[in-house]
């Protein structure tokens, strides 16, 4: 039986169950799922995990998954960026199908087993300490930004040797003043004539927004306040997506408990929670409830969390928006994987269509960056390769603007576009920046 007529569902992640870490059971499940994938092959063009898997089986002595070694099984896991696109867009066997196939969460299980055994690399562990790294980077922003520039022939080879970060990969620059520290001086009073006057939104500044690029946050503050929304900016801690990528699920559960408890009083007081980064929104809305299914504050936060574009579109439908000036620009919109994984539709497109005369066009392909995955030397060329179809599609119409809801995808796509021989745009920012531009903010 292929496919299901029911909506796909995701099961709770039983990370506290000892049997989940049983290596023999994991090996058997990897081989079961890999065999199904080999027979289907619909995901062949999403990322390198699937070509690696299919080639390994096709080139094995009996062309059977049973021929694969543990090293070959792991190679498939190592190529996965946890983008969720196989689960969300391609796989006909996701639950409630009898095959019960959730490829990304199986990759997560493998990483969780490795992490428990102490096999997560030192670089992966250190890069996942986002708050610590952000604070240190901001304290020494001048030195850090000089050292991490791709054209720094003195420091980048050293960073590559020590940390394994490819010398060509974009490393985000650090802000001298984190976004939350400047919040009091940049948040306007809500416009009393705005159609959404009386609404309250707390912006959850993710690590990248808080320490590396505050442009989307400042744009969102201005747009919401102009429409009458009372705004505040908070950064209680990292959402732990980088630790999730490592399989460090106890750390993810801890973050879910602490951050949901931080936001709970605000939610109960009528504040909506709007994460600036799609990955943070995905964690709060979907992954945390699967990791902490019995936590009522996690459930509460999940129900009151909105992605940026989702929130603006919801305001447009419920209260209306302040008049927007026409802006006859063509806009290439990269549909970020973790926006797609929220299963809410292309809200960035809906938001940009609210701008009179704007001409947005959607690209539904992965940028290839994959969080911190794409910056490592062993993955960078693969990250560029995976991102080339998206890059080519974004530039083919020679748009006036290119945007992405993923803050890491934007700079990476600039590099990928340059690798095709085309001139990359000066910035690939968040769609909210375009709406702020249309408002003249």
267-285 pLDDT, tens per residue? 999 999 999 999 999 999 9
Task: Taking residues 205-219, report their average pLDDT.
Answer: 97
Task: Taking residues 367-385, report their average pLDDT.
Answer: 93
Burial of 283-304, coded b for 16+ CB within 10 Å and e otherwise, reads bbbbbbbebbeebebbebbbeb
344-353 pLDDT, tens per residue? 999 999 999 9
Range with the lowest mean pLDDT among 6-10, 308-312, 433-437? Answer: 6-10
Task: Taking residues 175-190, report their average pLDDT.
Answer: 97
Strand order of the β-sheet with 200-204 is 230-234, 200-204, 272-275
pTM of the model: 0.94
Residue 1: the pLDDT is: 42
Angle, CA of 400, 401 and 405, to the nearest 5°: 165
How far apart (Å, rounded) are the C-alpha atoms in residues 161 and 376? Answer: 11
Surface-to-core class of residue 69, CB atoms within 10 Å of its CB (0-12 exposed, 13-18 middle, 19+ buried): exposed
> At residue 418, does pLDDT exceed 50?
yes
With tokens 């801890």, the residue in question is: 254
The length of the chain in residues reads 441
Residue 44: the pLDDT is: 86
Residue 380: the pLDDT is: 96
Fold exhibited by the domain 324-438: Rossmann fold (3.40.50)
Phi–psi pair at 132, nearest 5 degrees: -60, -45
């Amino acid at each position: 039986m292929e496919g299901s007529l029911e909506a796909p569902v995701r099961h709770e992640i039983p990370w506290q169950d000892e049997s989940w870490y049983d290596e023999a059971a994991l090996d058997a499940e990897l081989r079961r799922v890999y065999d199904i994938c080999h027979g289907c092959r619909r995901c062949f063009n999403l990322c390198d995990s699937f070509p690696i898997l299919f080639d390994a089986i096709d080139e094995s002595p009996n062309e059977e998954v049973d021929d694969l070694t543990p090293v070959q099984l792991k190679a498939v896991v190592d190529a996965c960026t946890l983008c969720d696109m196989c689960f969300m867009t391609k796989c006909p066997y996701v639950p409630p199908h009898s095959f019960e196939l959730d490829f990304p969460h199986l990759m997560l299980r493998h990483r969780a087993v490795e992490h428990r055994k102490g096999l997560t690399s030192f670089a992966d562990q250190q890069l996942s300490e986002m708050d610590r790294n952000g604070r240190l980077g901001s304290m020494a922003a001048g030195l850090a930004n000089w050292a991490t520039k791709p054209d720094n022939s003195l420091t980048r080879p050293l960073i590559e040797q020590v940390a394994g970060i490819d010398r060509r990969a974009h490393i985000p620059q650090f802000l001298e003043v984190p976004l939350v520290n400047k919040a009091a001086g940049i948040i306007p009073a809500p416009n009393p004539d705005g159609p959404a006057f009386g609404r309250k939104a707390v912006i959850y500044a993710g690590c990248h927004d808080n320490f590396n690029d505050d442009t989307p946050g400042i744009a969102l503050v201005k747009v919401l306040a102009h429409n009458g929304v009372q705004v505040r900016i908070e950064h209680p801690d990292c959402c732990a997506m980088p630790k999730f990528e490592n399989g460090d699920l106890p750390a993810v559960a801890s973050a879910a408990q602490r951050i949901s408890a931080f936001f709970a009083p605000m939610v109960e007081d009528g504040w909506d929670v709007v994460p600036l980064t799609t990955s943070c929104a995905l964690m709060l809305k979907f992954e945390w409830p699967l990791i902490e299914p019995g936590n009522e504050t996690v459930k509460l936060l999940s129900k009151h969390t909105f992605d940026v574009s989702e929130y603006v579109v919801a305001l447009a439908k419920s209260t209306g928006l302040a008049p927007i000036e026409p802006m006859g620009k063509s806009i290439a919109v990269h549909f970020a994987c973790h926006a797609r994984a929220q299963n809410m539709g292309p809200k960035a497109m809906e938001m940009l269509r609210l701008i009179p005369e704007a001409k947005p066009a959607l690209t539904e392909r992965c940028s290839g960056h994959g969080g911190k995955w794409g910056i490592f030397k062993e993955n960078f060329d693969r990250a560029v390769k995976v991102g080339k179809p998206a890059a080519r599609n974004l530039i083919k119409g020679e748009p006036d603007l290119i945007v992405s809801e993923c803050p890491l995808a934007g700079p990476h796509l600039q590099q990928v576009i340059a690798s095709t021989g085309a001139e990359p745009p000066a910035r690939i920012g968040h769609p909210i920046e375009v709406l702020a531009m249309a408002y003249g903010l």
